Amino acid sequence: MFFIKKTILITLSCLFMQGALANTDVAWKYLVKSKGTVKYYPNVIKNLVKEDLYFASIPYIKELLTRGKSKSSKELDFLIDKVVTNVGVKQFEVLPTRFLKKSKAPVLKYILAKKYFRQGKYQKSLNALNGTIPKNHPAKPFALFLEGSIFSITKKYKSSLSAYDECIRSSNSSNSSVNFNRKRQLSINRDYCIVGKARSNFAAGKFEQANLDYLDLSKSSHIWPEILFEEAWNSFYMRDYNRTLGKLVTYKAPFISFIFNPEIDVLRSLTYMELCLWKDTLKVVDDFYDENESNHDKIKKFLRKHGKDYKYYYLLAKSRLNGKVRGNKLLNRMLSSITRDATFREMFDYFQTGKDELEIINRLPKSRMKRILKLNLKDALILQRNLVGAYVRKKLHLSWHQVRKTFADMSYIKLEVLSRRKESLYSPEKSMNRGRGDIRNLKRTDKQYFWTFNGEFWADELGDYVFSLKSECSGNAL
């Protein structure tokens, strides 16, 4: 019995090897046939994709785009779409626009539109999207989010709301027939479109509607913790300062302590200042300086020391994912936030799945094709690793500049408090009675509820807190 089982396993293994050899052997024959040209590269790519060698096929796609003619085919477009779906868009975002324009593959048109968007060429970005991505294409929901963002930035708010609504529908309808990673991406994309509606209404000055739109985002969403800050700003513009403070205090919950955004403290201090609560304002300012000033200088030296060593930054983020904590508390908070970021997770996960291709290639018998595939895979994976490292480095630099800007903002706030405090001392209407925590100061909408918190744990309603402070400003009461 054991002998029979062993024979079956050996036979299955041989069949697998023959199948793998058949496809890579065909790819090799077409590669030899090309004789230094890219004429037969579509056939090479096709056979590599059959073996799920997506990263190994990237160099051939890139060379086809850079050296090939503008001619394209539906089959090639489909292959490119499949490869990008399995390796991510970042591998192709590094290509110049003149090469991306050569392909009619919908996913490359989306990447082209993203590049134009980042360059501030919004009309060109829209032109790259219009009529190029079919309604049922996997890239369509992401293209709709980009479209909505363009309309919002260019102040075409009605069009942006329409695009975001379509984006939400498209993201939901695509959710059932895809793998786990794509489901997660679509879910995040849908949530960003929900938030996009709120952002458009906020930019249009429709703060009440924006407030209702923000409430449509589920607390289970991956992006919900970062959006609380935007909700707080919206409440600030509505002059609902107690709700602003309630949103911001949620960041003290251990559940979302990984969020790093120094502007949270700026908004908190500004809100206290608008309530003329001078001691509270100055405490936020002083605490921020005490916690971050010395570590901020250390991070500056750290970033200079490691320059553009992308491998180091990749390993730094990987160690943080594995639970290793750095000595600098501020750096550790930055890294915790970056490694929870959706873009980072996507890029990092693609790199891990890309390494699985090495196992497929290692099963092939020794040959020149095997060596070439290994080299191609190594080049693609090194690029992916460096893209992850470059992203981590960029986010660390942005975080460092955020802290530096926050120091400047806090200095201004401190001076403003001194000025306003001086004025209030000479105000005959100044009340000496500082009542705090009066339920009469609360405001709420039909989507918000009042909880007595008799026995509940505060994490049950994260984000729904509201302070009940009374304004200390002369002649005002909230």
pTM here is: 0.85
What amino acid occupies position 287?
D
Number of domains in the chain: 2
* Residue where a domain terminates, one of 117, 145, 166: 117
pLDDT score of 432: 43
pLDDT score of 13: 39
What amino acid occupies position 105?
A
pLDDT score of 433: 46
* Residue where a domain terminates, one of 384, 401, 426: 426
Nearby residues of 34 by Cβ (< 8 Å), 6 or more positions away:
40, 41, 44
pLDDT score of 105: 87
Q: What is the DSSP string of 52-117?
A: T-HHHHHHHHHHHHHHS-S---HHHHHHHHHHHHHH-SHHHHTS-HHHHTT---HHHHHHHHHHHH
- Indicate left, alpha or beta for 276 from its phi (over 0: left) and psi (-120 to 50: alpha): left
pLDDT score of 248: 94
Q: Is 166 helix (H, G, I), strand (E, B) or coil?
A: helix
Beta bridge partners of 238: none
Q: What is the DSSP letter of 451?
A: -
Q: Say if 201 falls within a structural domain.
A: no
- Alpha-helical (H) ranges within 215-365 are 224-237, 241-249, 263-274, 278-306, 310-321, 329-339, 342-355, 357-362
Q: Say if 451 falls within a structural domain.
A: no
pLDDT score of 424: 65
pLDDT score of 12: 33
Q: What is the span of the domain harbouring residue 345?
A: 261-426
Q: Say if 185 falls within a structural domain.
A: no
Q: For the range 308-313, what are the long-range contacts, defined as Cβ-Cβ under 8 Å and sequence gap of 24 or more?
A: 308/390, 308/393, 309/389, 310/385, 310/386, 310/387, 310/388, 310/389, 310/390, 310/393, 311/385, 311/386, 311/389, 312/389, 313/388, 313/389, 313/390, 313/392, 313/393, 313/396
Q: Say if 144 falls within a structural domain.
A: no
pLDDT score of 18: 46
Q: Say if 213 falls within a structural domain.
A: no
Closest CA to 284 of 314, 311, 249: 249
Q: Say if 365 falls within a structural domain.
A: yes
Q: Say if 456 falls within a structural domain.
A: no
pLDDT score of 426: 60
Distance CA 75, CA 237 (A): 52
Nearby residues of 137 by Cβ (< 8 Å), 6 or more positions away:
81, 106, 107
Q: Say if 179 falls within a structural domain.
A: no
Q: Using an 8 Å Cβ cutoff, are 210 and 234 in contact? A: yes
What does the pLDDT profile of the chain (478 residues) look like in tens digits? 433 333 333 333 343 444 445 678 888 888 888 777 888 899 999 999 998 999 999 999 999 888 876 556 788 888 998 899 889 999 999 999 999 988 888 999 999 999 999 999 999 999 999 888 988 888 999 999 999 999 999 999 999 999 999 999 999 986 555 677 788 889 999 999 999 999 999 999 999 999 999 999 998 899 999 999 999 999 999 999 999 999 999 998 888 888 999 999 999 999 999 999 999 999 999 999 999 999 999 999 999 999 999 999 999 999 999 988 876 899 999 999 999 998 999 999 999 989 999 988 988 888 888 999 999 999 999 999 999 999 999 999 999 999 999 999 999 999 999 888 777 666 555 444 444 555 455 555 555 545 544 444 444 456 567 787 888 886 554 4
Report the length, in residues, of the chain. 478
pLDDT score of 131: 81
Report helix angle 180-203 to 157-173, nearest 10. 160
Around 163, how many Cα atoms within 13 Å sit in the side-chain half-sphere? 24
* Residue where a domain terminates, one of 87, 117, 147: 117
What is the torsion angle, in degrees rounded to the nearest 10, for the CA atoms of residue 276, residue 282, residue 288 and residue 293? Answer: 140
pLDDT tens, residue by residue, 395-438: 999 999 999 999 999 999 999 998 887 776 665 554 444 445 55
